[in-house]
Amino acid sequence: MAVSANSPEKKQLNIKTITFGDLTWVDITDPTEDITKYLTEKYNFHPMDIEDALSLRQLSKVEEYPTYIFAIFHLLKYNKATKVSIRKQWSAFLGDKYLVTLHPIELTALDEFFHECELNEDDRNEYFSQGSGYLLYQILDRALDSYFPVLDKIMNLTDAIEDNVFNVGVEAAQELSSLRRDIITQRRVMFPTRTLLTELEKKIKRFSKIDLTVYFSDLMDHMNKICETLDETTDIIEVYKDADYLLSSYRANRGIRVLEVMLAILLPLVMVFGLYGMYITFFGTVSKGSTGIYLILIAVFVVFSGALISFLRRKHLI
């Protein structure tokens, strides 16, 4: 039988609880400093651990104590506005007969799993009857599953940006920069998490009634595939970056070549008209009854047209 004890005080502190058998799951959403007294008096957690859980700016870690385990995890939420994933921290205190989780409201995967356990007795029987260690494994599994849409988004963006990178007429530098930044953020979260799960597997056994080796092996298999995918995507983005740099250099050089061609064509014209603009008498200088200037203009026009046609035919020059 499950008991949800949500008193007015707990509702004010955003505390939800589920008790099934001898195990209680306490879930705290958007924790504040007001929760410190409750956790200290109820569970006697170390003040430094509570401070780390509330700071939301900690590195992933696992710390073991005689009566409980404290762990800090991170998940990613994709921000459509900035096109960059945001790192969100959540924490867990794992004891013999309790599991306390603290997380921001943006991590809906934990809320959804809690709600499922709250409504379905079969789920409570399956997840709560094997100890707090097994329950934490199930939460980690759900949290990891919630990450795959973020990874799929990155893969789709990587595929979509390929056409822009190899299109000479399209600038893809900004898209590449945003994508590289997002992948770096994901690597900063997922690679430490893989190491953390390896360490957690060794320490969590004392709070589970069943052997979790097979379960964590499956979890690590997913983590390894995620990290391999991020490595592969990083390599692809580096290739795209180099290609975009080469194409950008090519576009810049082509522009310079066009200017050089125009300068080569116009320079003789400038020189001729410059000479005839001086107060010096040359052949063809404008005077009454003189036709030499017209011959000069025709000659310049012929040279100009011939040079322009020659350059246009040799497209490799521009």
Q: pLDDT tens across 241-280, in order?
A: 877 777 776 666 666 766 666 676 667 667 666 666 655 5
Residue spans of the domains in the chain: they are: 2-248, 258-317
Higher-confidence residue of 153 and 83: namely 153
Q: Does pLDDT of 293 surpass 70? A: no
**pLDDT for the residue numbered 298:** 75
In the block, residue with structure tokens 């170390």: 46
Q: How far lies 80's CA from each of 83, 84, 153, 160, 260, in Å?
A: 5, 7, 10, 16, 44
Q: Residue 237: is its pLDDT beyond 60?
A: yes
Q: Identify the pLDDT of residue 152.
A: 87
The pLDDT, as a whole number, for residue 278 is 58
- Give the predicted TM-score (pTM) of the model: 0.76
Please tell me the predicted confidence (pLDDT) of residue 6.
Answer: 60
Q: Give the per-residue pLDDT at 141.
A: 93
Residues 6+ apart with CB under 8 A from 140: 73, 197, 219
C-alpha span between 299 and 296 (Å, rounded)? 5
pLDDT of residue 316: 52
What does the pLDDT read at residue 174? 79
- Picking from 55, 57, 6, the residue whose alpha carbon sits closest to that of residue 33 is 55
Residue 58 has pLDDT above 90, yes or no: no
Q: What is the pLDDT of residue 140?
A: 95
Considering only 27-31, 101-105, 151-155, 170-174, which range has the smallest mean pLDDT? 170-174
**β-strand partners of 16:** 27
Give pLDDT, residue 173: 77
What pLDDT is recorded for position 172?
75
Q: Is 78 helix (H, G, I), strand (E, B) or coil?
A: strand
pLDDT band, residue 203 (cuts 50/70/90): very high
Alpha-carbon distances of 206 from 46, 50, 99, 194, 301, rounded to whole Å: 20, 22, 14, 21, 94
Among the four given CATH numbers 3.40.50.300, 3.40.50.1820, 1.10.3720.10, 3.30.460.20, the one describing domain 2-248: 3.30.460.20
Whole-angstrom distance, CA of residue 68 vs CA of residue 234: 38
Cβ atoms within 10 Å of 248's Cβ, excluding its own: 14
What average pLDDT score do residues 158-166 get?
A: 80
| pLDDT bracket for residue 169 (50, 70, 90) | low
Tell me what pLDDT residue 253 has.
67
Write down the mean pLDDT value for the chain: 82
In which band, very low, low, confident or very high, does the pLDDT at 41 lie, cut at 50, 70 and 90?
Answer: confident
Interval 81-120: pLDDT, tens: 777 788 899 999 999 999 999 998 888 889 999 999 999 9
Of 114-128, 163-177, 250-264, which gets the smallest average pLDDT? Answer: 250-264
Nearest-CA neighbor of 247 among 158, 159, 175, 173?
Answer: 173
Has residue 3 got a pLDDT over 60?
no
